[in-house]
């Protein structure tokens, strides 16, 4: 087997997949192809929506929109850094752990020490992301579009609602399934 890490999710990509039982590489492939790809597409799209809305005359901008935009832009910056750390550091190491376990080899060590370190950082960032989502929900009354005649605002709220739902599932898969499995793999359990 070569040294290149290839993430695939094959048949395990079914919507009702049991990610707790699927091979770790399939779960990581699913996260990359579904959630990371979604974020890479939607974050710039939503940024463009904010740019259109914020480019209007100040008297045409709802009072909460600048705060909503600041919250989103903070979340966007954090997510872009977060995805890179997962893709370049954490996910490849978890795959190495799984492959070593399958081959009956010694647990590989990483320059960062235990996998618990980067997992703690990722979960701290997940909590920060959840706080940003909560603030956006509060500011938009749960992304409610009632009484809005502005198509840009309706489109923005719909996009934020979809981002919210995707990110909640993304975080759940990592915190509740992937991270505990990585810790068990490192421990040899």
Dihedral, CA of residue 46, residue 161, residue 32 and residue 124, to nearest 10: 100
pLDDT tens across 17-33, in order?
789 889 999 999 999 99
Q: Is residue 58 part of a domain?
A: yes
Q: Is residue 2 part of a domain?
A: no
Domain that holds residue 139: 22-187
- Residue 115 sits at φ, ψ, to 5 deg, of -60, -20
Q: Is residue 98 part of a domain?
A: yes
Counted domains in the chain: 1
pLDDT tens across 59-82, in order?
555 667 889 999 999 999 999 999
Q: What angle do CA 75, 20, 84 make, to 5 degrees?
A: 30
In Å, the largest CA–CA distance within the chain is 66
Q: Is residue 15 part of a domain?
A: no
Q: Is residue 34 part of a domain?
A: yes
Q: Is residue 71 part of a domain?
A: yes
Which pLDDT score is estimated for 64? 79
What residues pair up with 113 in beta bridges, in sequence order? 110
CA distances to 9, 45, 132, 166 from 163, in Å: 22, 11, 12, 5
Q: Is residue 10 part of a domain?
A: no
């Amino acid at each position: 087997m070569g040294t290149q890490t290839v993430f695939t999710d094959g048949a395990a990509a079914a919507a009702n997949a049991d990610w707790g039982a699927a091979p770790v590489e399939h779960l990581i492939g699913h996260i990359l192809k579904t959630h990371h790809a979604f974020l890479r597409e939607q974050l710039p799209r939503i940024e463009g929506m904010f740019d259109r809305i914020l480019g209007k005359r100040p008297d045409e901008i709802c009072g909460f929109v600048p705060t909503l935009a600041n919250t989103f832009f903070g979340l966007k910056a954090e997510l872009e850094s977060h995805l890179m750390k997962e893709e370049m550091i954490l996910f490849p190491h978890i795959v190495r752990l799984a492959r070593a376990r399958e081959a009956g080899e010694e647990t590989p060590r990483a320059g960062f020490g235990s996998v618990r370190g980067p997992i703690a950082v990722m979960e701290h960032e997940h909590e920060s992301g959840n706080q940003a989502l909560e603030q956006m929900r509060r500011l938009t009354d749960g992304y409610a579009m009632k009484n809005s005649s502005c198509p840009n605002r309706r489109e923005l709220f719909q996009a934020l609602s979809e981002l919210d739902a995707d990110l909640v599932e993304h975080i759940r898969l990592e915190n509740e399934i992937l991270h505990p499995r990585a810790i068990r793999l490192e421990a040899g359990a």
